[in-house]
A and B are shown apart, each in its own frame.
Chain A
Amino acid sequence: MDVSEIQTIEHQVLVIGAGGAGLRAAIECSALGLNTGVISKSLLGKAHTVMAEGGMAAALASVSPKDSWKVHFRDTMRGGKFLNVWRMAELHAKHAPARVLELEEWGAVFDRTKDGLISQRNFGGHRHPRLAHTGDRTGLELIRTLQDHGVHQGIDFHMECAALSLLKDGERIAGVAAYWRDTGRFVLFRAPAVILATGGAGKAWKVTSNSWEYTGDGYAMAYDAGAELMDIEFTQFHPTGMVWPPSVRGTLVTEGVRGEGGILRNSEGKRFMFNYVPEKFASETADTEQEAAEWLAGKQGARRPPELLTRDVVARSIKAEVDAGRGSPNGGVFLDIASQRPADFIKRKLPSMYHQFKELAEVDITKEPMQVGPTLHYFMGGVRVEAESQMTRVPGLFACGEAGAGMHGANRLGGNSLSDLIVFGKLAGTGAKKYLDGLKSTPRADDEQVKAAFRVATAPLQRDSGENPYVVHEELTKTMGQCVGIVRSKKELERGIEELQVLKKRIKSVKADGASQYNPGWHEALSLESLLVTSEAVALAAHMREESRGAHTRIDFENERPEWLKYNIVITKGPDGQPRVEKVERKPPPDYLKQIAEANIDDLEAGKVGAGAPED
């Protein structure tokens, strides 16, 4: 293979991924005058951001004047069980309102308040109505706004182009080896800065809200290139995925259903969430159905219904009900908004949920309850980055959105993902600009790396015989579901890690039938490596963290353990090619952040705490 004959495209920055984070990063890079390219496995506007439903959290205070970045920051830290990177949670809470208003300036049409401002809705873990939204299709509004704005910014969009590996010159990033899905041809991107906006890896589980794209490509590429994976044991199971029919098991049911008043009941008709309120949230949660109803009606002083506790709590409670034999006929629980709100309200505020259940499950949610259960939804962990610049420890390599780690700690609040994308997407762009400004010489990858990347990619097509990649993937999802699920134990994790070692060997001999043009079997074979790297990292970190915190639940180590709050678990690729798992001590926060996060809510809202905090 002669590298000079391979199609070569040069950019100053190459963004991998065209969801909210990738598009926002690219827009920033372009605005700063950088020659910017974006590659995406799918067509533009199809990334998983489009599935986000409920909204984006930002303390605009257009509905509740008491809201502020400080309260948003406090909610985020409490939701993340204080494991969040303090500075990232701070930047997020401070920048989110400006990023949302910027979207409006670029054409986003959010739902409105009576006063004509951006409306905001309630969501789990958020003290105030804080989610700017467009019905229950906010992700579509976000991605379309960024897409329609982005195409006029001089960015080169390379659609249906998949990254294979990162290329380096010494320590520094030098580009990306990739292939075009439609022709199967290889393409070499030379770029001194690369931004990973590759999302998560939900496809390692069978029951997931994620699409085929979520195979951990960014995690695996970054890990191979020498970056660190952090907090990867924290995988969020969204409490409400569809459970029936079997073919849609896992498809997301927005938290907006509960935000708009939906309640959870078990097979006995009991509103069970009242039995699962954690001590830390008890003083801010309603005690009775009557108080919850008063809160929904907007009565001052009434506390929030327990259905709006954080996702980790609700998901575990649903599992406990099902395990205790109080589940719905198809193995979930009942989510009921029909008895709480009139039909026209439901159709107006939750149109795509209405549509989704009607078409896929033949259930009319304005008349009957939905059956729902936990579904793997999101990775809180990811590639470790520096808070302000989003740069990894590999010079020139950046990560943002779900690909990055730190913002959400041990559990993400609903609505904090879309705002994460636009806040840290922009920061990754400014980070890349700063890095490139300081660069003395242009890094260049040698031919050997390029050839190696393409050789590995071609192998599954060239084998005479081998296993079916779909079958191996199916088995991986079984292992992860059984051994690295919503409730974990040392014994099961060890069994899982063993099974993953076997799978790691098996993926080396999968065979893709057919040619290289638009061949899903081949693409499936190529994604197995990333899925395995990610799955092993999750299992190893989950094994090391001997406590239950946020989305990581250990049946053999119940409850949070204060000593574990001091550490992040960080995974790197060792010199022997095997993962190295380490406890890395966290930096203490500045005093003002600690005070705000730990403040009594009334004191904080009255300005008695955090008054001197910098507003930058």
Chain B
Amino acid sequence: MANRTFKIWRGDPKGGSFQSYDTDVSEGMVVLDVLHALQASQTPDLAVRWNCKAGKCGSCSMEINGKPKLACMTRMNSLPADQAVTVQPLKTFPIVRDLVTDVSWNYRQNKRIAPFKPVAPGPDGKRRMYQEDADRPQEFRKCIECFLCQDVCHVLRDREGQDRFVGPRFMIRVAGLEMNPLDAEDRIPELKEHYGSGMCNITRCCTEVCPEHINITDNGIIPLKERVVDRYYDPLLAVGRLLTGKKLRTVAKPER
């Protein structure tokens, strides 16, 4: 049992400040345990979003000592013992109250992505996919929508960027569809025209913060960018288009 100091951002859209709290911390505790202990004993109205407390739902995303983390998976013994612990809300999204931010923008991006379109079943009425083909989409489908990758994305930190890029979370959501052999939808035009695949400059910050250890950049975003390049900018294909006189059309999809 040790006494520790927490500096927690308290406030609302109008403004706020860090406030200090002292509390006892025992073996095995994570940051979310401390926040719950503070609610029960010192400040019952401290706003925190959480659900599963086991790293599976992605609700308790916040910045702990300046780093985007899940509070339920950040053990106290992983933080320097001789310093106060600072806890603040995600920076990229508007404040609701205290540690809770308005992440509804992400849900609007999700809705823009065309739904899964199943391929026709085989002659026996069954759809087959082999495990080695399932592995890739399954990596992306591990995503728990904590939005930590969205929080650190350089493009999205800038408000204007949010109009032009869906962010790493939804790039891998598209990757999970595009690389699924049972999905018949052509997703390349949307990637280029609507989701802003060209905006990502591959700094890999998103991959670093992913609590599910999804290789967002190398396995998801880069292959998607390559598919866009192959479709639109491949010089051989361009020559082919000149010779045949056929124009490669991109179909614009309205926001759903």
Interface set of A (CB-CB < 8 Å, partner B) = 42-48, 50-51, 104-107, 109-112, 114-117, 119, 134-135, 137, 139-141, 144, 148-149, 151-152, 159, 182, 211-213, 244-248, 251-252, 351-352, 355-356, 359-361, 468-471, 474, 512-515, 517-522, 524
Contact = CB atoms under 8 A, between A and B. Distances in A.
B40 A468 contact: yes
Contact of A247 (B30, B44, B144, B176): B30
B145 interface: yes
Contacts of A50: 51-52, 56-57, 144
Contact of B52 (A51, A105, A468): A51
B243 to A, nearest CB: 38
6 contacts: A50-B52, A135-B138, A148-B173, A152-B111, A359-B55, A360-B28
Contact of A112 (B39, B51, B97, B134): B134
B79 to A, nearest CB: 14
Contact of A518 (B98, B137, B138): B98
Contacts of A359: 55, 73, 75
A517 B97 contact: yes
Interface stretch (B122-130, B224-232, B247-255): B122-130
Given A46-B59, A517-B12, A470 B44 contact: yes
A519 B54 contact: no
A174 B176 CA distance: 42
Given A48-B52, A248-B54, A512-B44, A106 B26 contact: no
B115 interface: yes
A46 B107 CA distance: 13
Contacts of B134: 109-112
Contacts of A182: 96-97, 100, 102
Nearest to B97: A518
Given A148-B116, A360-B73, A519-B45, A137 B142 contact: yes
A519 B97 CA distance: 9
Task: Across the A-B interface, give the 5 residue pairs with the lowest CB-CB distance, nearest first.
Answer: A245-B28, A521-B44, A107-B116, A514-B45, A116-B128
Given A356-B55, A360-B30, A471-B40, 9 more contacts: A42-B51, A50-B56, A144-B141, A182-B96, A211-B57, A247-B30, A252-B54, A356-B54, A521-B45
Given A50-B57, A468-B44, A469-B44, A211 B128 contact: no
Nearest to A113: B131
Contact of A251 (B53, B96, B129, B138): B53
Interface string B28-57: 111001000001110111111111111111
Contacts of B57: 45-46, 50-51, 211
B70 to A, nearest CB: 10
Contacts, number: 177
Contacts of B98: 518
B180 interface: yes
B110 interface: yes
Interface in B91-109: 96-98, 100, 102-104, 107
B182 interface: yes
A48 B59 CA distance: 12
Contacts of A514: 44-45
Given A112-B130, A245-B29, A518 B100 contact: yes
B97 A140 contact: no
Nearest to B78: A359
Residue picked from B54, B110, B129, B173, most chain A C-beta under 10 Å = B54
B224 to A, nearest CB: 17
Given A149-B115, A470-B39, A518-B47, A248 B28 contact: yes
Nearest to A211: B51
B118 interface: yes
Contact of A520 (B47, B55, B75, B173): B47
A112 B129 contact: yes
A106 B117 CA distance: 8
B115 A213 contact: no
Contacts of A43: 49, 59, 103, 107
Contacts of B33: 247
B168 to A, nearest CB: 16
Contacts of B118: 104-107
A590 B138 CA distance: 43
Nearest to B73: A359
Contacts of A51: 52, 54, 56-57
B183 interface: yes
Contact of B131 (A112, A246, A252): A112
Given A244-B28, A360-B54, A514-B44, A107 B39 contact: no
B56 A518 contact: no
Given A519-B47, A521-B45, A248 B111 contact: no
Given A182-B97, A359-B75, A140 B56 contact: yes
A151 B49 CA distance: 22
A351 to B, nearest CB: 8
B212 to A, nearest CB: 8
A359 B39 CA distance: 24
Contact of A522 (B45, B53, B54, B138): B45
Interface string B144-168: 1100000000000000000000000
Nearest to B104: A159
Nearest to A514: B45
B131 A140 contact: no
A474 B44 CA distance: 14
Nearest to B140: A109
Given A105-B118, A117-B128, A361-B28, A213 B51 contact: yes
Nearest to A524: B44
A43 B128 CA distance: 33
B27 A149 contact: no
A44 B138 contact: no
A141 to B, nearest CB: 6
A116 B27 contact: no
A98 to B, nearest CB: 12
Contact of B116 (A135, A149, A355, A512): A149
A351 B40 CA distance: 33
B206 interface: no
Contacts of B176: 109
B216 interface: no
A245 B29 CA distance: 7
